[in-house]
């Protein structure tokens, strides 16, 4: 275990860098290249995220990308377990969790491995929220799934599920940690900012719906001689 008692600042720096590198892992780009022979960023909305993966490559690729992107957000926050400096559930503990989550989110949006062009970070945000406040995350995830199955609009489902998070944090669970309250409100604003084009397409009725069917890989047939 990292001896954070001797150097908490050094731990914070190392953990933030690791969280960023973890968040930068571009699951959708790598799955697209390895299994489908495409760069997901050159298709659909051009984003390397879960939404575009479902839209372009279907549920067979979308589910693994969703799971991994959620996991990397969760794992980044849990890096705090390698420190014994912060008291669990204290204000400083939550602040470092949020900082690590933010580093992972920035990594997802600006991934170092693939030219700093990533996704919008919704799935990674979910992982961060699961790690910090699992009950709110679970309810938000249920809202997302219900909306996705009923509308097939990933963008709309993501935004409404994100908007529910501050309501759950502030009204339902009555959280008193100021940094967590601010974070929950930032999520709602961030989702509006990153989904501007989706909002325009939704109002224009031009937004593409998610492909919830399993899409098979195209097989190349050998030439007969």
What pLDDT is recorded for position 172? 94
Residues 64-88 as b/e (b if ≥16 CB within 10 A, e otherwise) read bbbebbbbbbbbbbbbbeebebbee
Q: What is the mean pLDDT of residues 4-26?
A: 87
Q: How many CA atoms lie within 13 A of 190 on its CB side?
A: 20
What pLDDT is recorded for position 191? 84
Among residues 35, 65, 60, the alpha carbon closest in space to that of 50 is found at 65
**88-110 residue pLDDT tens:** 877 889 999 999 999 999 999 99
Instruction: Please report which confidence band the pLDDT of residue 36 belongs to, taking 50, 70 and 90 as the band edges.
Output: very high
Q: What is the mean pLDDT of residues 172-178?
A: 90
When mean pLDDT is compared across 3-12, 33-42, 48-57, the lowest value belongs to 3-12
What pLDDT is recorded for position 6? 54
How far apart, in Å, are the Cα atoms of 77 and each of 48, 102, 195? 22, 9, 24
Q: How many CA atoms lie within 13 A of 93 on its CB side?
A: 14
- What mean pLDDT, rounded, does the chain reach? 87
The whole-angstrom separation of Cα 88 and Cα 183 is 18
């Amino acid at each position: 275990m990292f001896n954070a008692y001797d150097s908490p600042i050094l731990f914070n720096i190392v953990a933030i860098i690791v969280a960023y590198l973890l968040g930068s892992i571009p699951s959708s780009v790598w799955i697209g290249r390895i299994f489908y022979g495409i760069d997901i960023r050159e298709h659909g909305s051009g984003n390397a995220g879960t939404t575009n993966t479902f839209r372009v490559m279907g549920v067979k690729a979308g589910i693994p990308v969703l799971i991994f992107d959620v996991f990397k957000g969760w794992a980044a926050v849990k890096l705090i377990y390698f420190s014994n400096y912060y008291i669990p559930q204290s204000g400083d503990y939550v602040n470092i969790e949020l900082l690590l989550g933010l580093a992972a989110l920035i990594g997802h949006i600006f991934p170092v491995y693939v030219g700093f062009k990533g996704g919008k970070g919704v799935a990674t945000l979910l992982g961060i929220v699961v790690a910090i406040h699992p009950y709110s995350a679970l309810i938000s995830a249920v809202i997302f799934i219900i909306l996705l199955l009923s509308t097939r609009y990933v963008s709309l489902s993501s935004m409404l599920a994100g908007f529910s998070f501050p309501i759950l944090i502030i009204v339902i669970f009555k959280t008193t940690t100021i940094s967590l309250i601010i974070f929950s409100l930032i999520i709602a604003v961030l989702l509006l900012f990153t989904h501007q084009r989706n909002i325009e397409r939704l109002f224009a009725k031009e937004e593409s719906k998610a492909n919830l069917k399993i899409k098979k890989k195209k097989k190349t047939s050998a030439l007969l001689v």
